[in-house]
């Protein structure tokens, strides 16, 4: 006997994810041909506090990876926010402390990162495969205000370059959607 699967209706889909994925939960459809500002990005208060503290101390950073692609309009989801810090110095630990968080400097195979409640999605990127140096990528970044925080975001073209260079199975799986988003955007720009 076959069981017919029912598609979930809008009323049965939760407005936010338990895993707090970096996706928009807006009722407006996300299109590939335009860049959408994601007003409901849903940063945790702790993430906002860390980003604000980094800004206050002059620590430059870029949002990279699929979280950058989502902010650039790609119809994908990710469970983390990849952050490429210009440099890791005392200001990063000071920013974490002022945001009621802590900085783990890393040891052995454990990479550095932020710790504390509400910060489990922040991943610090140490190696940005397929990209130029930080200053070059930062200069070409998109800047968006998300929940009162200015975020410098790696452009979609550069996310694609990084995913191609890394060439992990999960990166290869994301490439068709990323490339389709970029192609649709370029087609929309020509109209």
Per-residue pLDDT of the chain in tens (191 residues, 90 and over written 9): 444 444 444 444 333 332 233 334 333 333 433 444 444 457 999 999 999 999 999 999 999 999 999 999 999 988 899 999 999 999 999 999 999 999 998 888 888 999 999 999 999 998 889 999 999 999 999 999 998 999 999 999 999 999 999 999 999 999 999 999 999 988 877 76
Cα-based distances in Å from 103 to 31, 97, 115, 142: 37, 8, 6, 27
Residue spans of the domains in the chain: they are 36-190
The DSSP annotation for 138-190 comes to HHT-EEEEETTEEEEE--HHHHHHHHHHH--HHHHHHHHHHHHHHHHHHHHHH
155 burial type by CB count under 10 A (0-12 exposed, 13-18 middle, 19+ buried):
middle
What is the per-residue pLDDT for 187?
Answer: 81
Reduce the secondary structure of 97-148 to three states and give it as a string.
HHCCCEEECCECCECCEEECCCCCCEEEECCCCCCCCHHHHHHCCEEEEECC
What is the per-residue pLDDT for 42?
Answer: 79
What is the per-residue pLDDT for 191?
Answer: 65
Torsion angle in degrees (nearest 10) through CA of 138, 48, 42, 122: 70
What is the per-residue pLDDT for 8?
Answer: 43
**pLDDT tens sequence across 24-73:** 433 333 343 344 444 445 799 999 999 999 999 999 999 999 999 999 99
Rounded CA separation 127/138 (Å): 15
What CATH code is assigned to 36-190?
3.30.460
What is the per-residue pLDDT for 33?
Answer: 39
Pair 72, 92: CB distance under 8 Å: no
């Amino acid at each position: 006997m076959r069981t017919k699967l029912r598609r979930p209706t809008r009323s049965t889909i939760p407005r936010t994810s338990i895993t707090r994925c970096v996706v928009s939960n807006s009722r407006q459809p996300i299109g590939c041909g335009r860049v959408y500002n994601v007003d409901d990005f849903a940063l945790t208060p702790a993430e906002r506090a860390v980003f604000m503290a980094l800004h206050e101390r002059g620590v430059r950073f870029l949002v990279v990876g699929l979280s950058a692609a989502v902010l650039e309009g790609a119809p994908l989801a990710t469970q983390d926010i990849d952050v490429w810090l210009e440099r890791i110095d005392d200001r990063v630990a000071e920013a974490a402390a002022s945001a009621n968080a802590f900085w783990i400097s890393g040891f052995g195979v454990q990479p550095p990162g932020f710790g504390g409640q509400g910060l489990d999605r922040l991943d610090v990127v140490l190696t940005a495969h397929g990209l130029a140096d930080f200053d070059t990528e930062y200069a070409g970044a998109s800047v968006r205000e998300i929940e009162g925080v200015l975020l410098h975001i790696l452009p979609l073209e550069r996310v694609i370059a990084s995913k191609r260079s890394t060439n992990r199975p999960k990166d290869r799986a994301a490439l068709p959607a990323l490339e389709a988003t970029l192609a649709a955007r370029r087609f929309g720009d020509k109209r």
